[in-house]
């Protein structure tokens, strides 16, 4: 009887562990389901379409709204995250009147090979390039990148200068010197056992953040190749991505016209706390491109 009771007691922690793991994996996805996305736009009375394509072993999922012949604005989320980070912008009446809008799940997030992270910024660029190629005539083409999406859109501008007309870097982690050395805990998280334990969104995030510092170092000689207009948005109370990344932009964006939008009391979560800064930046950039085109 006592032995049987001991066995039952030993099973309790295991059962609790399994329940916790199931809860974490189901709740910490940082994504909306396709049905939730459709419901969101139906409630907003905005026509939007979910799209998929395959490239280089990736299955990329994105959402588009607005007039497909207008200039394109492509939103690129951070880590972890998904296209839902920018979904409110796709229902914004001011933006819809001026630009065709796309928000995409990056590789490893949302419904783009969920959980299979990609550490190479170049491979992530290649995964998103088909969107740019499909809409290369939607001039101008503006990219908005938040957090890790910041260096990614900068890399895209380096790789595909003929497909991109402007960048809006929001709380971007672009300076390799400011990236903490987290190998001591990120390397173990990439092992098969611990990788299985953590939620898939964090698994994908760990994979790319683990490689981010060397990826940013490889970009250093090429920032001078960015010549399109850039707007940098950052808050001085950002506790996740150091505000000193703004100094990096000032030092390395030497051949691009750059505008800096700084807010003293703003944190890292700009798309949710201060969406008007992003919306206004998009409109300003669109207007400048129109003025330049008419000259």
| DSSP result, 135-202 | TTTSSSEEEEEETTHHHHHHHHHHH-GGG--EEEEES----GGGS---HHHHHHHTSHHHHHHS-HHH
**Is 207 among the domain residues?**
yes
List pLDDT tens digits, range 53-106: 999 999 999 999 999 999 999 999 999 999 999 999 999 999 999 999 999 999
pLDDT band at 200 (very low <50, low <70, confident <90, very high): low
Confidence (pLDDT) at 294: 65
- pLDDT at residue 150 is higher than 70: yes
Least confident of 9-13, 45-49, 167-171: 9-13
Lowest mean pLDDT among 26-35, 175-184, 249-258: 26-35
- CA 46 to centroid of chain Cα atoms: 23
> Which of 86, 85, 81 lies closest to 114, judged by CA?
81
Q: What pLDDT is stored for residue 40 in this prediction?
A: 98
Please report how many Cα atoms fall inside a 13 Å half-sphere around the Cα of residue 42, on the Cβ side. 6
Provide the H-helix boundaries in 45-182. Answer: 93-96, 121-134, 149-159
> What's the number of domains the chain is made of?
1
Flag whether pLDDT at 5 surpasses 70.
no
pLDDT at position 41 is: 98
Tell me whether residue 63 is in a domain. yes
In a domain? residue 25: no
Q: Classify residue 4: in a domain, yes or no.
A: no
- DSSP state letter for 256: S
- Angle, helices 200-219 vs 149-159, to 10°: value is 50
Q: What's the domain range around 249?
A: 32-293
Please report the pLDDT score of residue 115 as a whole number: 83
Per-residue confidence at 10, pLDDT binned at 50, 70, 90? very low
Q: Which one has a higher pLDDT value, 293 or 2?
A: 293
In 10 A of CB 142, how many CB atoms?
Answer: 25
What's the CA gap between 82 and 61, in Å, rounded?
Answer: 10
Q: Do residues 167 and 231 lie in contact, with contact meaning Cβ atoms separated by under 8 Å?
A: yes
Under the banding of pLDDT at 50, 70 and 90, the label for residue 29 is low
User: What average pLDDT does the structure give for the chain?
Assistant: 88
Strand partners, 53: 60
Here the CATH number for the domain that contains residue 117 is 3.40.50.1820
SS3 content of the chain, % helix, strand, coil (to 5): 50, 15, 30
Answer yes or no: is 241 within a domain: yes
Structural tokens at position 267: 């944190």
- Is 186 part of a structural domain of the chain? yes
- Residue 221 domain flag: yes
Tell me the average pLDDT across 167-187: 82
Are the CB atoms for 231 and 169 separated by under 8 Å?
yes
**Residue 118 CA: distances (Å) to CA of 77, 133, 185:** 14, 21, 18
Tell me the percentage of the chain whose pLDDT exceeds 70: 82
Partners of 143 in the beta sheet?
A: 74, 167
Look up residue 83 and give its two tokens.
Answer: 């296209």
Band of residue 117 on the pLDDT scale cut at 50, 70, 90:
confident
| DSSP conformational letter for 62 | E
Tell me whether residue 188 is in a domain: yes
DSSP letter at 106 equals P
Predicted pLDDT at 76:
99
Q: pLDDT (tens digit, 9 = 90+) per residue, 247-291?
A: 999 999 999 999 999 999 999 999 999 999 999 999 999 999 877
Residue given tokens 């979910």 in the structure block: 50
- Going by their DSSP bridges, the two strands 230-235 and 166-170 should be labelled as parallel
Q: Check residue 184 and give its pLDDT.
A: 44
Q: How far is CA 248 from CA 177, 182, 216, in A?
A: 9, 21, 12
CA distance 103 to 85: 8
Residue 192 predicted with pLDDT over 90:
no
């Amino acid at each position: 009887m006592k032995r049987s009771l001991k066995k039952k007691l030993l099973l309790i922690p295991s059962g609790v562990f399994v329940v916790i793991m199931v809860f974490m994996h189901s709740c910490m996805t940082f994504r909306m389901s396709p049905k939730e996305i459709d419901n969101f736009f139906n409630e907003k009375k905005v026509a939007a379409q979910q799209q998929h394509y395959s490239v280089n072993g990736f299955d990329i999922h994105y959402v588009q709204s607005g007039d497909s012949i207008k200039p394109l604005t492509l939103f690129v989320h951070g880590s972890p995250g998904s296209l839902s980070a920018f979904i409110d912008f796709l229902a914004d009446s001011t933006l819809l009147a001026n630009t065709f809008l796309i928000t995409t799940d990056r590789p490893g997030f949302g419904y783009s090979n969920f959980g299979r992270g990609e550490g190479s910024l170049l491979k992530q660029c290649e995964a998103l390039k088909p969107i740019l190629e499909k809409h290369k005539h939607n001039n101008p083409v503006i990219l908005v990148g938040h957090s890790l999406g910041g260096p990614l859109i900068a890399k895209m501008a380096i790789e595909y200068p003929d497909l991109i007309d402007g960048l809006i870097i929001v709380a971007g982690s672009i300076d390799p010197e400011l990236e903490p050395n987290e190998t001591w805990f990120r390397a173990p998280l990439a092992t098969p056992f611990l990788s299985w334990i953590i939620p898939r969104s964090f698994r994908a995030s760990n994979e790319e953040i683990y490689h981010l510092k060397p990826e940013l170092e490889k970009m250093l000689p090429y920032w001078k190749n960015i010549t399109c207009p850039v707007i940098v948005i950052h808050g001085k109370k950002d506790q996740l991505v150091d505000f000193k990344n703004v100094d990096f932009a000032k030092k390395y964006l030497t051949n691009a016209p750059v505008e800096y939008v700084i807010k003293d009391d703003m944190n890292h979560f700009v798309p949710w706390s201060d969406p008007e800064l992003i919306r206004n930046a998009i409109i300003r950039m669109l207007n400048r491109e129109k003025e330049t085109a008419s000259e």
